[in-house]
Amino acid sequence: MPDGPPRSGWQEATIAYIVIGVIVASQHSYYAHLGSFSQVLSAVAATALWPLVLLGADLHLSLANP
């Protein structure tokens, strides 16, 4: 008998979603240059919104003032 509460499957699904997001974002060069806050934010957004990246959305953010 296992110790602790039973696992629901949400934990595994969340981990899988994040891992897939990291792979997709990496394949689309979001982790290539993380020298600024906007580049880090772009990488986080691409990881979280990886289905949009697969559909061709460009999530490279620019926080520079015009």
Q: Is 21 inside any structural domain?
A: yes
Q: Are 59 and 49 in contact (CB under 8 A)?
A: yes
30/26 Cα distance (integer angstroms): 6
> 21 lies in which domain range?
11-54
Q: Which 3 state secondary structure label does DSSP give 38?
A: helix
The mean per-residue pLDDT over the stretch 46-60 comes to 95
Any domain includes 62: no
Does residue 46 lie within any of the structural domains? Answer: yes
- Is 18 a domain residue? yes
Whether the model clears a pTM of 0.85, i.e. scores above it, the answer is no
Could you identify the residue written with the tokens 């993380």? 34
Render pLDDT for 1-49 as a digit per residue (tens, 0 to 9): 566 666 678 899 999 999 999 999 999 999 998 998 999 999 999 999 9
Number of domains within the chain: 1
